[in-house]
Amino acid sequence: MWNLFNKKKKLLYPGFSWLQRDIHNHLLPGIDDGSPDVETSIALVRDLAEAGIKDFVCSPHIIQDMYRNTPETINLALDKLNEAIRKEKIDVKISAWAEYMLDEFFVETLRSGKQLQCISGKFILTELPLSVLPSNLESMAFEINTSGYHAVLAHPERYLYYHSRMESYTRLKELGFSLQLNLLSLTGYYGPRILTAAKYLLKHDLIDYVGTDLHHFDHLRMLTEKSSIRIFEKYLGGRIWNTFDEV
Ligand SMILES: [Fe+2]
């Protein structure tokens, strides 16, 4: 019994020295489909810190009819998490932007002139529906740019409609999007077609940022497996990612 309770937790493989900050995750408690409460967030952050990630820009969903988060709901959750982090004395930095679904609600919000949840005054994280390309994508990109924002598009490799026409990824760059790859796409976690698209994007030097898109402990386990770390080092090693030096 003594041994059972005193069994030391296995140290996580510290394999993320090349990742300066994680810019895509759902660590904020209770406001989307990520961490449900502060206790879970703390446990996830503690393990990620042990694996070598010390700087997090959280990106809760903002989706019409699902998660109508606002800067107020996001910053409230951020304050709660930061307070718990301080109490637990975990040495990490946590801030927040949001993952904006490019839907009608986003267009309304953008046109309202209200400040979007961004970092460095102009960078917003955006996403598209996985299986249907919005017909107004080009006009939304134009409105984003003319409103003074710079959009980072989350996980371009996951959008099914680009798999049969990967040359369209360059059009996204022309529209002004920076592209952010999900790390787990490289492990085959989301399936072989997404792995193929991820390799294509890297091979053609189209990826600007990477992110964990971590929602829960399954993602954490997959991300910190030794085999996954080897894959990340193979495809992403040799440079420091997400420095945001340009911001
Ligand atoms: Fe996400």
Residue 55, helix vs strand vs coil: strand
The pair phi, psi for residue 77, each rounded to 5°, is: -65, -40
Stretch 77-84: mean pLDDT, rounded? 98
Q: Report the separation in Å between the CA atom of 154 and the middle of ligand 1, taken as the mean of its atom positions.
A: 7
Query: 17 pLDDT band (50/70/90 cuts)?
Result: confident
Which pLDDT tens digit goes with each residue over 104-148?
Answer: 999 999 999 999 999 988 999 999 999 999 999 999 999 999 999
Looking at residue 173, which CATH number applies to its domain?
Answer: 3.20.20.140
Q: Report the separation in Å between the CA atom of 99 and the middle of ligand 1, taken as the mean of its atom positions.
A: 6
Q: Report the separation in Å between the CA atom of 24 and the middle of ligand 1, taken as the mean of its atom positions.
A: 6
- For the chain, what is the domain count? 1
Do the Cβ atoms of 78 and 56 come closer than 8 Å?
Answer: no
Query: 13 pLDDT band (50/70/90 cuts)?
Result: low
Answer whether residue 230 is part of any domain. yes
What confidence score (pLDDT) does residue 8 get? 45
What confidence score (pLDDT) does residue 7 get? 44
Distance of CA 77 to the CA centre of its chain: 17
What confidence score (pLDDT) does residue 14 get? 63
Q: Report the separation in Å between the CA atom of 65 and the middle of ligand 1, taken as the mean of its atom positions.
A: 17
Q: Which domain holds residue 58?
A: 16-236
Do the Cβ atoms of 76 and 65 come closer than 8 Å?
Answer: no
What confidence score (pLDDT) does residue 121 get? 86
Answer whether residue 118 is part of any domain. yes
What confidence score (pLDDT) does residue 15 get? 84
Stretch 161-165: mean pLDDT, rounded? 97
Q: Report the separation in Å between the CA atom of 202 and the middle of ligand 1, taken as the mean of its atom positions.
A: 20
